[in-house]
Amino acid sequence: MIQQGTSAHLDILPEAGVVSPSMSTREEMERIELLQGTLDLLILRTLQLGPMHGHAIAKAIEFRSDEVLQVEQGSLYPALHRLIKRRWISAKEGTSENNRRAKFYALTFRGRRQLTVETSKWDKLARAIAQILRPGEQEEA
């Protein structure tokens, strides 16, 4: 899942709100780019809720993270194509809620299995990082 040195533009916003195209240097420095596999995992988990078009996926991730995470289109669509290529998701033409043509993405059987695998890897990674960042707290819990 995690490829060393590879990142996607999944922003962690310094505070709730939208990052403007004309970010200051300070704002740019506060952005955190997450590893590519993280975005893939978030997309798979989001599609577990049901088929969605790209914009809805990005908004769902933003909403479910209390507007801390913001997915840029330049990262979302390459990730969706990557997941289609791996056959973890499928795409089908449809009509969006505002009556526009859109591609709807859905989790496949392989994608459901992979979501379980990737979630397990994420949990293991998160525990390992927590052990380093907060030594001693793990034994108390």
Q: Does the global pTM surpass 0.85?
A: no
Give the model confidence (pLDDT) of 48-67 as tens digits. Answer: 999 999 999 999 999 999 98
Q: What are phi and psi of 105, to 5 degrees?
A: -105, 140
The DSSP result for 82-114, as a single string, is: HHHHTTSEEEEEEE-TTS-EEEEEEE-HHHHHH
Domain ranges, residue 117: 7-15+23-140
Q: Looking at the 3D structure of the chain, how many domains does it have?
A: 1
Q: Write the CATH number for 54.
A: 1.10.10.10
Q: What percentage of the chain reaches a pLDDT higher than 90? A: 55
In angstroms, the CA 42 to CA 89 distance is: 13
Asked if the structure places residue 101 within a domain, the reply is yes
Q: Answer yes or no: is 2 within a domain.
A: no
Q: Is residue 92 included in any domain, yes or no?
A: yes
Flag whether 1 is in a domain.
no
Residue 32 lies in a domain: yes
